[in-house]
């Protein structure tokens, strides 16, 4: 009889992709395992997890809305109902172990597991743990982390540094540079900057690129620019009359491996999932942490790299004035590029999914 595991959490790609990677690794190690996902209704996991071939159950749960008191009125009720439903899910599925990857659904499911004496593992992706995970860490069997120094949030004896699971196909860039440049119709003799704010995009990155587009053209530098779905139309409208063969503006990067392979310098937000990929890519990176996340954890993530001289940090508030100048300066400094690339590569833990899956099976036994 195969083991039964619940994986809970989601909300963003940064939580969902690692969760699915752990599930895939569990299936690979133990093909007869049964896996159930628990997510939050209306969030992207309810679509992405079934697309990856797994069953998912939704909780009617949300996070605290900082910008709206009214939206928080129902929050206590939703938390109580989610806890009741979590107990029911556990009772019916009878898991041997539960995994929490972060996101709204992770809290209620892990709290219910704790009450019902079901062993659970936390996969903490960021270098700064949120209040829910800090509380849940006290009763967790194991806490898998991606950064050093997490014993200030969790009991040291429970911590295992595993790294964050990544999409292997995305970081498979060896020998692909020429093919990638051809894919984007770019020249192999020119330097290339990749700008990515994730699938939804990042307003600050887009504004910084728009403001400095004349410098990009003047320096004869190539740009692969992922605007994100939300900003694509407005960026194109503002670029009218400035379209140039060196500049490729895309709503979404279907071939992230090609984008990484083509880039000489990468400009990115500092989400934990993206950083885990950048460790393996081993290219010079400028990080612009998003200020719109809980506990400002993207700044903490970025600082973990800056302390190791593995990335350059530009604050969101400084980006419009400094970002493009920093990128163009870095493109000309090959010694600095080599140093950053070497140091970020030293932080890579490419087999996180399998290491975490083996820990899950240990606690399931």
Task: Please give the annotated binding residues, written as ranges.
Answer: 12-14, 126, 167, 199, 298
First to last CA, the chain: 12
143 contact partners, CB below 8 Å, separation of at least 6: 121, 122, 124, 137, 150, 154, 155, 158, 159, 160
Give the single-character DSSP code of 14. H
The residues that bridge with 291 in the sheet, in sequence order, are none
Which residue ranges make up the annotated binding site for UDP-N-acetyl-alpha-D-glucosamine?
12-14, 126, 167, 199, 298
Where do the DSSP E strands lie in 125-253? 142-145, 159-161, 192-196, 222-226, 247-250
| Torsion on CA atoms 38, 43, 45, 47, rounded to nearest 10 | 120
Apex 348 CA angle, 194 and 316, nearest 5: 45
- What tokens appear for 36 in the block? 């159930």
Contact 193, 267 (CB under 8 A): yes
Calpha distance 164→145 (Å, rounded): 7
- In total, the chain counts a number of residues equal to 365
């Amino acid at each position: 009889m195969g083991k039964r595991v619940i994986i809970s959490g989601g909300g963003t790609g940064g939580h969902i992709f690692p969760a699915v990677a752990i599930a895939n690794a569990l299936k690979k190690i133990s093909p007869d395992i049964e896996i159930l996902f628990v997510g939050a209704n209306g969030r992207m996991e309810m679509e992405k997890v079934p697309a990856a071939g797994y069953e998912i159950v939704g909780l009617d749960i949300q996070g605290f809305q900082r910008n709206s008191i009214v939206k928080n009125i129902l929050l206590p009720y939703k938390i109580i109902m989610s806890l009741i439903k979590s107990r029911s899910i556990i009772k019916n599925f009878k898991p041997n172990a539960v995994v929490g990857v972060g996101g709204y659904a992770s809290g209620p499911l892990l709290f219910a597991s704790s009450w019902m004496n079901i062993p659970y593992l936390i996969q903490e992706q960021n270098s700064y743990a949120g209040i829910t995970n800090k509380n849940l860490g006290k009763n967790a069997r194991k806490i898998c982390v991606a950064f050093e120094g997490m014993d200030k949030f969790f009991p040291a004896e429970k911590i295992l540094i595993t790294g964050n699971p990544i999409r292997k196909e995305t970081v498979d860039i060896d020998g692909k540079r020429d093919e990638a440049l051809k894919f984007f119709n770019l020249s192999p003799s020119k330097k290339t900057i990749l700008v990515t704010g994730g699938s939804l995009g990042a307003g600050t990155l887009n504004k910084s690129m728009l403001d400095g587009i004349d410098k990009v053209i003047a320096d004869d530098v190539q740009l692969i620019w992922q605007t994100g779905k939300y900003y694509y139309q407005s960026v194109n409208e503002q670029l009218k009359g400035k379209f140039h063969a060196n500049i490729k503006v895309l709503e979404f990067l279907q071939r992230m491996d090609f984008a990484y392979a083509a880039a000489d310098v990468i400009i990115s937000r500092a989400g934990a999932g993206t950083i885990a990929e950048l460790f393996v890519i081993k290219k010079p990176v400028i990080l612009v942490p998003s200020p719109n996340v809980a506990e400002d954890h993207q700044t903490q993530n970025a600082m973990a790299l800056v302390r190791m001289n593995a990335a350059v940090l530009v604050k969101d508030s400084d980006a419009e004035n400094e970002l493009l100048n920093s990128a163009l300066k870095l493109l000309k400094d090959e010694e600095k590029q080599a140093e950053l690339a070497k140091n970020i590569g030293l932080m890579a833990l490419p087999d996180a999914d399998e290491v975490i899956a083996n820990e899950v099976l240990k606690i399931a036994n």
